Amino acid sequence: MAVEPKNPVLSVRDIHVSFGPNHVLKGLDLDAYRGEIIGFVGGSGTGKSVLMRTILGLCQKQAGTIKLFGLDYDQLDDEQRSATDRRTGVLFQHGALFSALTVKENIQMPMREYLSLSQTLMDELAAMKLSLVGLPMDATDKYPSELSGGMIKRASLARALALDPELLFLDEPTSGLDPIGAAEFDELTVSLSRTLGLTVFMVTHDLGSLHAICDRIAVLKDGKVLAIDTLERIEKLDDPWVRSYFGGQRAISAQHALRTGSGMVNARIEG
């Protein structure tokens, strides 16, 4: 997909994040462009989710600048921040649905927080979001405990899309899914990105997703982005972790599955 390299939707500069003596992010820089799916990878505990949470304001940074849609988030007043927040959506790693609320009520939470809508209209919008992510209407009044893992992911995605965001954050979206479910979620991500014009920032360790749907991949190492480029170029980096991650048996299996179409999507590559 064509992107707009001069107009990053997300721009991160010189970000530092520490937890006590543990310096996790050490001057990290990153841009994400309109309409792309960018995969963010790194070793366990390197700070992938920390960066996402810092961008969302859930982790405090010690230094650096975060711009969303060209706006310095730290310089915005409350009204501007609220308007900017409405342009983003997030799916957390385990869904993070409210257990005491139904699927419909979960989807309507952002609407209640940011909008002033009638219950009838919110019900219609919730139904539309459910359809968008491929969930049946009979899931509307179910509680999270009554859903399968795959349904929880889709319900959480429906909530993330409740306010029609332009920038979507996905934290390990295929974690815990079987290969078929993961491939279907990848297909859904590509479809939504193309249909809605979404920019997708995806923290993942899923090699299948990286091969199948990502326009670019950012590699986190030693608190900074080691490189950000297409998969083909990332795989050629002379770095021990990159060689091990992208050149191991699981990566080879993912490439084979993509070429043969066995459980992987190929629309992104062909398109």
pLDDT at 206 over 80: yes
What is the rounded average pLDDT for all residues in the chain?
88
Mean pLDDT along residues 154-158: 95
Mean pLDDT along residues 10-16: 96
What is the pTM assigned to this prediction?
0.87
pLDDT at 17 over 50: yes
Per-residue pLDDT reduced to its tens digit, 89-140: 999 877 789 999 999 999 999 999 999 899 999 999 999 999 999 999 999 9
pLDDT at 261 over 90: no
> b/e map of 51-82 (b: 16 or more CB within 10 Å)?
bbbbbbeebebeebebbbbebebeeeeeeebe
